[in-house]
Each structure stands twice: as structure tokens, then as C-alpha cells.
Structure 1
Amino acid sequence: MSKNYLSKLLWYSGFLLILLGLLHVPVWLISGGGWEGSISWRKPILFGISTGMTLCSLGWVTDHLVRNLLDRVVGWLTSISLVIEVGLITMQQWRGVASHFNRDSAFDSRVDMAMVILICIAFAGIVYFFVRCLGKIRMESDYVVAARSGMLLLVVSCLIGFVISSFGYQKVAANLPPETVGENGVAKFPHGVAIHALQILPAIVWLLRQFKIQHAHIKVAIYCVAASFGLQIAFAVYQTASGFARFQLVTPTGFLLATLAGLLVVVPAVWFTWKQVAATPRRTE
């Protein structure tokens, strides 16, 4: 754990939300109920764990920045806004009402508006730290690529989330379900497909280092996986906008995007495996 005050704040806030999410797993198992739907224990579980992981990753990034006073202010605002937002989502679930797109009462409308404001504040903080990590960052080069790529994909995922939210409010105004697009499109699919790249990419760097892969080769792998995430986002946007389910590969465009996204992960993995096998001394009889 870092001794940096800002990083510790983000880490502890993240751990708090992860714990909150995990504590709701037995509640879901005991109380029953479906996993999907606007009223589901999925909401506090996934939002707690997912948002907590994001805050922890921001803590990791900020620990390697050349710190300034504004970092601490932005870090506080980002942490507090996300913790309160997840708290409001959890509160609405315990009340037995929808947490998103819910304006059935004056209180629910205020909660909904508060969550919109909070997520805007948090997004501003994420953009700020993305810009900061484009400058001097005290990491080895392969981790730098992972951090910057992960932050970029997080920003893109958040932007998609705002588009989805705007679309959802339009559908609610028309008395239509906000969760779907067309016949089978899943509105939240594009938002979530790459939102955890900031955790996955550094983990890949760590894993490849365990196999003694050269840093230059690791950077190539990270670029490939990051590009794969980009294609996955494109695939998710295409599928959703076309009204297709997540993996309903019924058009050449969808099949091509999915195939390219997969190849950008598989090809580097096969190449590294071959290089590792080739470098292993063979036993002579």
C-alpha cells in the first residue's frame, strides 16, 4: 500500500465500495430474486465492486504521478462523489425501487438528479487524472502504456455511459423501457465492455513479466490488447445500435469486429508462447 495520502484515500474508498458490494452477495442469495432488472441486488453488488476497483486503480495511477495540490482536491471530489453515488444506488435497492431512470416521486427524482451530478463530478476527476498521466509518470515503460491505455478506455467508457443515459431518459419520456435498444440491443453493453481495462492491462503486464518477457515485447502486447478493447467497444456499439443481442452474430460487420478483437488478443499470446518455447534449452540425451 502506498504512503501517498491521495493514493491511500482512493485505495481505502475503493476497498470500502468493494466490501459493500461483497456484503450484498449473501443478501441476494438469501433473499432471492433475479439478477437482471431495474430492481435487483445486482445493482449494489456490481456497482460496489466495479466502482471500488476503479477507485483502487486510480489510486495506483496517482501513486506514480508527480503530485500537486490540485491532485488532492480532485481526488477527494472523485472519491466522495463515487462513494455517495454507490450509496444512493444501494439505498434505492433497499427501498425496493429502481435506482436509475426513476422519477416516480419527488424524492426519487432528487436521488436520480443527485446521482447524475455526482457521476459528472467523478467523470471530471477521471478526465483530470487521465490528462495528468499523459505527463510525467514514474513507472517503467510497459506499465506506463498500460496505465495510459487503461485510463483512455475508462474515459471512453464513461462517455458512452453518458450517451446511454441520455438515450434512456428519452425512452422513459416516451414510456419505453430504457434498458433496450431496438428488438434485442442491450443499452449498457457498450458502456461496460472495456470499463475495467485499467485493471486488466496492468495485470497483463505483471503476468508477462513473470515469464521474463522483454519490456518492449510487453508494450506491443498491451497495444494489441488495448486495440482489441477498442474493437470490442466498436462491436458493442454496432450490436446495440443495430438492435442485436450481445453475441448475436448475424451480420458480416459484427462477425468481422468480433473476430479482429479476438485475434488481437490471441496472436500476441501465441507469439509469446512460441518465443518462450523457442528460448527454452532443450534437454539432450
Structure 2
Amino acid sequence: MVGTVWRAVRPQNGFQRLLWWAGTLLLASGAVHLVVALVDGGSWWGPVSWRKPVVFGLSMGLLLWSMVWALRRQAQRWWVTVPAGLVGASLVLEVALITMQRWRGVPSHFNAATAFDSAVWSVIGMTIIVLTLGVLWSLVASLVRFRGSAATRIAVVAGFAAVLVAGAIGKDMAAIGEAAVDATGRVPDDILFGAAGSAKLAHAVGLHAIQVLGVLAILLDAGRLRARAAAWAMAVATTGYAAAFGAVTATAYAGWAPHDPTPAMAVLLVGGAVAVAVVGVVALWAVPSRVASGDADRDLERELGEAADAPVPAVARRAEA
């Protein structure tokens, strides 16, 4: 299964390799700072903690890997690669600034204690704007031209859309944080919607949709299911994830704790999670078992049928030109 996923996400050209290595750098940074956090001790929460370089490094690294996976199935044109490059540059810069502030022992967000800290926070805000515009452009590009299967296209479009919704949640989080600083003169320990609404959880669920749906799409495409059946299964999983995401987000904005949703939101959350889990079981069942041999790997490559890997016919090249 790991080999199947790797063959579907590995970079294929120099630009994709650049983004992939940038994502790998961020993942490595998150892993290293996790070790630092364990050795250093201290609280995992709060405005100044090792949690931020760890969580941001791992999350943004996975997002960059997801961008590479989506790029493999999009037209290799400047109007696709430039927005993806902006996403990569903004993520690396954002994580670098957040990590620097933690090593300085000061908050990275909502911090205007000095002119330098204020400038850092302003740059972080600008990177988020660039990131949002890049993801939005990538979403449009996926709708305009796509070389992958229907299941993969559903996962890419829904994943990018969820990242944009997560960005909107993040904007509301920033507004609450700024208001708290203006009212108290200090950076808040946590950002909550209402009394106990978990803004961070809602933000994270949206941000990582593209990874969950992407893995499901890869396994469905590599399995025994026909293309139409795989697309329907992907649609079910996407609907389920959207339901769960909607329930978590609505609960957060209502000011309720994640473990204490309303009955309606609880049903929506459980139902959505079950739908995703069922599709996950189907995807795993559909992937044929293989022996660890070179012939088996070559057979699996043929079954994947990745359209993005195939050379573009001369007629198609002329049409694109």
C-alpha cells in the first residue's frame, strides 16, 4: 500500500522535485522540533511553545507533498506552476518565521511588542494571503484541465476547497486574536470561538482533507474497482468528510466544545466519519495483494495507469499550443 501511494505522489520533473524537497524540509523541521520539545520539556500549549514549529512544519510539509500529487495531474504550464510555486515559497517562509520566533522565545502570532516582532507578524499575514491565492488558482486549474481519473479529480477539487475553507476559519481566528490583544495587551494563550469552540480543530480538519481524500483516491484507482465505481466511492467519501468537517466547524462556531456537540451535529459527525471509514475499507480491500518482486511492481505500475506519466500525443500538443 505504501508503494502504491509513493508511485502516485513521487515528483516527476525538476519543479515538482523542488516542491517535494521543500515539503520534506518542513517535515524534517517538524520532526526535529518534536525531539527538541521532548528534551526541553515545558507546556505543549500557549503562545510560546515548541508545538508551533512542530505542528506547522508537519502540516505545511504534508500540504506541499499534496501539491506535488495534484501537479502531476494538471497541465504543466506556467499558469499552473507559478501559483504552486507561490504556495511553496509562502509555506516555507511562514514556517521559518514561526520557528525563528520560538527560538527567540517570543510569540509568533499577534505579537507587536517590538517593531521587529510586528514586522514578522505582518509578513506572516502576507504569506497567508499569497498561500490562499495560490490554492485558489490551483483549484481553478483543476477544474479547467485535469489528466487524472474522476476519483482523483474529486479528491483534488474537494481537498483544495477544504483548504480554502480552513483559510477562512484561520482568518476568523486571527481577528479574534487581534481583538484579544487590543483588549488585554497580551497575546492570548488560545483562540476559541465563543466559550469553548475549538477553532484549531476546525482549521486542522479542513487543512488535512486533501491528504485523507488523496490517499483514498490513490487506493481506489489502484484497486479492482472500475473507474465509475471508484468515482462513486470517492464521492461518498468526500460527502462524508464534508459532513464531518461541517459538524466540527458548526460546533466550534457555536461555542461548544468538540466533545459536547448538539445531537444533530453528533449524528452528522458520526455519519460522515463512518462514510469515510467504509470507503477506506473498500479501498483497502480493492487493492490487490502483491509479492515483493520487480515483476509485481511493474504490474502495479501498469494497473495505476497514470495519465500524467504518459507522453502527450502530437495532436494533443498542438491542441494545447
TM exceeds 0.5? Answer: yes
CA contact (8 A) 1:6 1:59 kept: no
Aligned to 1:191: 203
Using the alignment, how far apart are the partners of 1:224 and 1:76 within structure 2?
A: 32
Using the alignment, how far apart are the partners of 1:143 and 1:170 within structure 2?
A: 41
Using the alignment, how far apart are the partners of 2:14 and 2:62 within structure 1?
A: 18
Larger RCO (alpha carbons 8 Å, 6+ apart): 2
* TM-score normalised by the chain length of structure 1: 0.87
Deviation at 1:194, TM superposition (A): 2.4
Deviation at 1:270, TM superposition (A): 7.2
Deviation at 1:235, TM superposition (A): 1.4
Distance 1:105 1:272, change over 3 A: closer
1:65-104 correspondence runs (5 A): 65-104=74-113
Distance 1:31 1:254, change over 3 A: same
Distance 1:219 1:72, change over 3 A: closer
Q: Which of 138, 154, 173 is residue 163 of structure 2 equivalent to?
A: 154
Aligned to 1:258: 269
Using the alignment, how far apart are the partners of 1:91 and 1:265 within structure 2?
A: 38
Map Cα deviations across residues 19-45 of structure 1 (whole Å, 9 max, x no partner). 111111211111011222211111111
CA contact (8 A) 2:47 2:190 kept: no
1:32 matches 2:41: yes
Map Cα deviations across residues 145-202 of structure 1 (whole Å, 9 max, x no partner). 2222212212222222222222322232222665123322222222111211211112
Aligned to 1:241: 253
CA contact (8 A) 1:167 1:178 kept: no
1:1-285 correspondence runs (5 A): 1-175=10-184, 179-209=191-221, 211-249=223-261, 251-266=262-277, 268=279
Deviation at 1:273, TM superposition (A): 9.3
Using the alignment, how far apart are the partners of 1:181 and 1:152 within structure 2?
A: 22
Determine helix, strand or coil for the equivalent of 2:107: coil
Aligned to 1:281: none
Using the alignment, how far apart are the partners of 1:50 and 1:98 within structure 2?
A: 19
Distance 1:19 1:177, change over 3 A: closer
State the AA in 2 paired with 1:219: A
Aligned Cα RMSD in Å? 2.4
Structure 2 unmatched ranges of 5 or more: 1-9, 288-321
Distance 1:204 1:101, change over 3 A: same
CA contact (8 A) 1:194 1:232 kept: no
Distance 1:270 1:106, change over 3 A: closer
Aligned length: 275
Map Cα deviations across residues 3-62 of structure 1 (whole Å, 9 max, x no partner). 323322221111111111111121111101122221111111110011011011111211
Determine helix, strand or coil for the equivalent of 1:23: helix
CA contact (8 A) 1:153 1:194 kept: yes
Deviation at 1:224, TM superposition (A): 1.8
State the AA in 2 paired with 1:258: L
* TM-score normalised by the chain length of structure 2: 0.78
CA contact (8 A) 1:171 1:177 kept: no
Using the alignment, how far apart are the partners of 1:25 and 1:273 within structure 2?
A: 31
